[in-house]
Amino acid sequence: MKGNTMRIYSAIQPTGCITIGNYIGAVKNWIALQNDNECLFSIANEHALTVRQDPEAFRERTTSFFAQFLACGLDPEKSVLYVQSNVPEHSELQWILSCMAYVGELDRMTQFKDKSRKNEDNINAGLLTYPVLMAADILLYRADLVPVGKDQKQHLELTRDLAIRFNNRFGDTFVVPEPYIPPQGAKITSLQKPTDKMSKSDPDGKATVSIIEPRDAILKKFKCAVTDCDNSIRFDPEAKPGISNLLSIYSAFSGETVEAAVQRFDGKGYGTFKMAVGETVADALAPIRERYEQYLANKDELARLMKDGAAKAHAIAAETMKDVKAKIGFVAD
């Protein structure tokens, strides 16, 4: 921690694409946090290995995600931006923490059960130990706060348990992290199944909108967005989940309140409304896409920024591991 600032850690897996849901729910909050805190933001490509990956596509997608971080406004001068696999201390600490975690507590993880059901042909050990790697990610940097969604709360509880368990056994070593609950933003759902969360890895291409999609593709997806047969535009997530989702998206990208948007489109048809939402999103994302293409066009600069970020993360991680190794009785190297 620097002075009175807080150290904040968060990460995102390079699967699928960074959607407008990820942008509104996570990345925009990260951009605000980096101004007044010491932040580390990682592309968690080691976590993504629990699902089979095509190596070349995986490598390209990881690089793409890093460029998207930069294009969104995450600043390598304000935050530490890096790729997880470029800092070997992550997996090194994971093994040590795995020897302190109990199979029973890992087996109880809701995400392990859910993902096992969805991937019956690939229930690998990584699915079970995934939360220990997440704990290593956080504890390695002695983070004070971790932004968490509902699906990660159980993992953060395990992280806290492991930190306390290690500290009790070997002395004060890790910061016991607290959850950071960001200001309540809009919950963005699928354009095709508006009762489901918009997911990076949704196989239905029409259900999600990437932050780097071409304008025509964005407009086409909103034109095809699922609504209902009521034809009235009002915010009612229970009765009208599709229209309510579109109102939330419009509000998030236009800066207009949902109430004002309802008045604006009162009496207008669904076609007019959906086109307006699509155009608002496309206009807002155009600068991000432009910056993204500029970063991708300069691969040398992108590689330099990735290397610099990894070096900064490594410097912090190495200090933690030096302390951990001494306390557990490893021979000094």
Is there a catalytic annotation at residue 187? no
Are 163 and 239 members of one domain? Answer: no
Are 224 and 122 members of one domain? Answer: no
233: domain CATH number is 1.10.240.10
Are 232 and 175 members of one domain? Answer: no
Q: What is the pLDDT of residues 16-53, one digit of tens each?
A: 789 999 999 889 889 989 999 999 999 999 999 988 89
pLDDT of residue 19: 94
Are 16 and 141 members of one domain? Answer: yes
pLDDT of residue 120: 66
Are 131 and 51 members of one domain? Answer: yes
318: domain CATH number is 3.40.50.620
pLDDT of residue 117: 65
Q: What is the pLDDT of residues 151-201, one digit of tens each?
A: 677 889 999 999 999 999 999 999 999 998 776 667 899 999 999 989 887
- Which entry of 78, 200, 312, 325 is annotated as an active-site residue? 200
Q: Is residue 196 part of a domain?
A: no
Q: Is residue 1 part of a domain?
A: no
Are 230 and 311 members of one domain? Answer: no
Q: Is residue 316 part of a domain?
A: yes
Q: Is residue 208 part of a domain?
A: no
Q: Is residue 251 part of a domain?
A: yes
Are 249 and 312 members of one domain? Answer: no
Q: Helix/strand/coil (H, E, C) string of the chain? A: CCCCCCEEEEEECCCCCCEHHHHHHHHHHHHHHCCCCEEEEEECCCHHHHCCCCHHHHHHHHHHHHHHHHHHCCCCCCEEEEEHHHCCHHHHHHHHHHCCCCHHHHHCCHHHHHHHHHCCCCCCHHHHHHHHHHHHHHHHCCCCEEECCHHHHHHHHHHHHHHHHHHHHHCCCCCCCEEECCCCCCCCECCCCCCCECCCCCCCCCCCCECCCCHHHHHHHHHCCCCCCCCCCCCECCCEHHHHHHHHHHHHHHCCCHHHHHHHCCCCCHHHHHHHHHHHHHHHHHHHHHHHHHHHHCHHHHHHHHHHHHHHHHHHHHHHHHHHHHHHCCCCC
User: What's this model's pTM, rounded to 2 decimal places?
Assistant: 0.89
- Which entry of 197, 206, 312, 325 is annotated as an active-site residue? 197
Q: Which of 13-27, 75-89, 235-249, 304-318 has the lowest mean pLDDT?
A: 13-27
pLDDT of residue 2: 45
Structural domain count, the chain: 2
Q: Is residue 105 part of a domain?
A: yes
Is there a catalytic annotation at residue 307? no
Are 166 and 236 members of one domain? Answer: no
Are 303 and 289 members of one domain? Answer: no
Are 227 and 306 members of one domain? Answer: no
pLDDT of 111 over the 80 cut: no
Q: State the pLDDT confidence band at 303, using cuts at 50, 70 and 90.
A: very high
Are 162 and 264 members of one domain? Answer: no
Range of the domain at 40: 7-180+299-328
Is there a catalytic annotation at residue 28? no
- Over range 103-113, report the average pLDDT: 78
Q: Is residue 210 part of a domain?
A: no
pLDDT of residue 113: 62
Q: Is residue 186 part of a domain?
A: no
Are 274 and 251 members of one domain? Answer: yes
